[in-house]
Amino acid sequence: MGKLFAVIVFVIALLSAIPIITHSWFGSGISFALPEDISTHGHAIDDQLSDTMVEAGLSFLAAQFVLAFFVWKFSNRQANAEIKTFPGGAKGLVIAALVLVGTEMLALGILGQKAWAAVYFTPAKPDAIQVQAQAGQFAFYFRYPGADGKFGALHPDKIDEGNSNFFGLDPANDVDSRDDIVTGELAIPINREVHLMMHAKDVGHSFYVRELRIQQDFVPGLDLSVHFTATKVGKYEIVCTQLCGLGHYNMKAYLNVLSQEDFDAWMKQKASEQ
Amino acid sequence: MSDRVVQAVPTTADVVHHHQPPQGFIRKYVFSLDHKMIGKQYYALALVAVFIGMVLSWLMRIHLVWPNWPIPGLGLLSKVGAPGGVMTPEYYLSLLTMHGTLMVFFVLTNAPFAAFGNYFLPIQIGAEDMAFPRFNMMSFWTTFLAFCILIAAFFVGDGPPIAGWTSYAPLSAVGADAGPGQGFGQTLWGLSIFVFCIASLLGALNFIATTLDLRTRGMTLSRMPICTWAWFITSCIALLAFAVLLPACLLLILDRVAGTSFFIPAGLVISDRLQPHSGGSPLLWQHLFWFFGHPEVYIAILPAIGIVSHILINSMRRPLLSHKVVIYCMMGIGFLSYMVWGHHMFVSGMNPFSSLMFSFPTLVITIPATIMTLIWLGSLYGSRLRITAASLFALGFISMFVSGGVSGFFLAQPSIDIYLHATYFVVGHFHMVMGVAAIFGVFAGTYFWFPKMTGHMMNESLGKLHFWLTFIGTYCIFMPFHYLGLAGNVRRYSAFVDDFLVPLIPVHRFITIAALCTGAAQLIFLYNLIHSRFRGAPAPDNPWECTSLEWIMPSPPPFDNFGGKHVVVYHDPYQYGVKSSTGDYLMQNSPEQVEVRT
């Protein structure tokens, strides 16, 4: 029975590793690969993830194999079989764990800082494109400051979705808000940094674009922002990852990365529609 | 392993107070003061909760992959939530909320800690009962009240709560404006957890007082069995953790019913209505909740670690390479558990510098966890391992603990968490390391202690069959969650409509089938449990040739445990692999002197 356990653990460990190594569901064409990274900071995250995968994968396989091997070898021995002590005893194992795992974790911890710092410890460049994102049950809206480069102030009491005043702007009294451009998709130019200011209208939400390697919560009452640079033209899904109510699963928008010319044209068109 | 002989010698003065068991049904089975009955009550409550929780997970899994299939009978449970048996998105979220809350609080906290701890902690230290039997009874019935309040939330008018087991504010705090499920049901959720906290605090205090004050003669702290240590350390963690969740729930309830704004900032427009709140902070709730929430993970897993170690030692017929190192590791994990709560909040908008402060201690937890794993594996080397249903589940626990543990390497790092946060990777991680591993500890404990608790043996063959199906089944369910997470599959979605999620649905279908099969396999356990309770072979006093004090008494134990006597303990808890008059082991209370292994 011990041998059966050993075989099953061995097989489970191997089978578990296959989809990780092949990035697919046992040859069915279903891919588990990370989507192509379209950001300037994402490669640091991807590298960190694959380094961690190697270390975690080796630890996983080693521990499962040793477990299987020892159970195979030492289960159901004769009642008078000699009980042996692992060479080095507890002391050796504690030192091994401290040195090996300690170094590993220290390395991961220190290396991982770089990727984190690239996203969070640097401010957005002054010439970054300013966009405000607003999350509400169950849609994202985006706002560009328009020709004057200034966002109009928000007045929550003026929010009126029926009249498409999603942000609660007050163009009658507020000059800055008159040329603000409000859209349902996030269009950005390629290779230009974007400074995304995040505003929650009602409850918590989150902004997740897999290809951008960006995930950031919207927190009501808190002015948060992220900045990123997209490096590939295309349309990507923005989804909400913070439970926000019944429509959570369906709360999404698109990130539209355009060439500079297309972006300028898009902006012009949107400005004329406002 | 040292083997000191205590000075004390039993005298006739030790044979003192002999208690008669209560005769009435109510005093004996309902409002019992006996820690053994209370332990069984906790176990029964956990069993009911785990059954409901499991059925909820089935319903969710079915809905995810066959969304339009009317589930027979579901329409009767909720006409609004599941008209004709097809559930609405909000009903899916209520099931998710109730599943998480039931499993974390009423199963993972109750079964390994409160149930087995109540039954065996006093016995293993040679006590007659808990330090405060009346408190103990109150703990259970308060927990039961919390359970009833939570279940009542299923049946309230505007639906059960949908904010998840973490109930993030302001969704959970603003009331019915936030949509279905945010009315009275959510208030009941807060109330239930509030009451549960009171019960857990009473229980934790009782465990601590019992361990410190009621140890019998010769039972020094270092002679306590490893599971007693685990329950003791867990009580200390629970005392501090629930003490924070208790006021947090109170504040949440006040926000909901008394118009306060602890967690609600100004200017929120919900359902076209400007909310009359200002000045609160949603992050405050997250901090308070996770300050409890992370230690809670260890409240679930440490008792399982203790139980599994206890059973492994017995099955290996040898002590661990080091008893003390494992105990220090448990203490270390308990201590670190208070310094890592922020790793649940890397992308929450808290100060990004503090993320690193939370990341390092999280990575450091790997060290004690690895040491414990290596000690288990190193102790297996050269042992005389007996394969029983209990030891299989204990070995399965090690496998699960490793599998669930290594995915923690990823989530402890804020940079990787940017990508993996709120994906199925996280779901796979915590289900394996906290859910399945802890449940394996409970199964191991059940197969091991059932003979003592009931006086009947369980059916070993059925137990082993149950193990194989559950072990393979849980891997089939939870391993693929990690792959889905790597593909960016977001959690807490009631349907997969996004372009990148649709191709992954066949994998979800596989998981659903695995979940249904594994769940069905639990019926074998249930049958074994009930059948053995009445028809199982009579259990001898010490069927597993175990050394700790619970095995010196008849099965099941008499009402006052040791017949009014004070047991005297002469040895460290695990004298295995020795040559004594009883065989290869020596009971803790045996005055016999043998050559011990060093």
Is B20 a residue whose pLDDT tops 80?
no
Looking at residue B565, what is its pLDDT? 85
Is A219 within 8 Å of B352 when comparing Cβ atoms? no
Q: Is the pLDDT of residue B15 over 80?
A: no
The residue type of B275 is Q
The yes or no reply on domain A129-273 and CATH 2.40.110.10 is: no
What pLDDT is recorded for position B7? 43
| From A2, A12, A217, residue closest to B387, measured CB to CB | A2
Convert the pLDDT of each residue in A6-25 to its tens digit: 999 999 999 999 999 999 99
Percent of chain B with pLDDT over 70: 96
Give residue B596's pLDDT. Answer: 62
Q: Is B261 helix (H, G, I), strand (E, B) or coil?
A: coil
3-state secondary structure of A136: strand
Of residues B93, B244, B252, B245, the one with CA closest to residue B170: B252
Among partner residues B163, B171, B418, which is closest to A45 by beta-carbon distance? B418
Partners of A187 in beta bridges: A256
Q: Domain extents for chain A? A: 2-76+88-120, 129-273
Q: Is the pLDDT of residue A76 over 70?
A: yes
Say yes or no for a CB contact (<8 Å) between B380 and A60.
no
The angle subtended at Cα A259 by Cα A257 and Cα A265, nearest 5°, is: 100
Closest Cα in chain A, distance from residue B48 (Å): 28
Q: Per-residue b/e over B481-497, b at no fewer than 16 CB within 10 Å?
A: bbbbbbbbbbbbbbebe
Residue B11 has pLDDT above 50, yes or no: no
Flag whether residue B95 sits within 8 Å of chain A, measured between CB atoms.
no
Find which of A248, A250, A255 to mutate to test the B interface (most B CBs within 10 Å of its CB). Answer: A248
Contacts of B398 in chain A (CB under 8 A): 67
What pLDDT is attached to residue B18?
60
pLDDT at B2: 41
Location of structure tokens 């040195």: A99
Average pLDDT over residues A211-216: 96
pTM value is: 0.95
Q: Decide which of A166 and B564 is more confident.
A: A166
Kindly determine whether residue B168 and residue A242, on different chains, have CB atoms separated by under 8 Å: yes
What residues 295-334 of chain B have any CB closer than 8 A to a CB of chain A? Answer: 316-318, 320-322, 325
Average pLDDT over residues A152-168: 91
Distance CA A73, CA A81 (A): 12
User: By the CB < 8 Å criterion, does A216 face chain B?
Assistant: yes
Question: What average pLDDT does range B180-192 have in this prediction?
Answer: 93
Asked whether B548 and B585 are in contact (CB, 8 A), the reply is: no
Element (H, E) at A140: strand A139-144
Name the token pair of B25.
Answer: 């049904």
Q: What angle do CA B569, B572, B577 make, to 5 degrees?
A: 120
Decide if A249 and B503 are in contact by the 8 Å CB cutoff. Answer: no
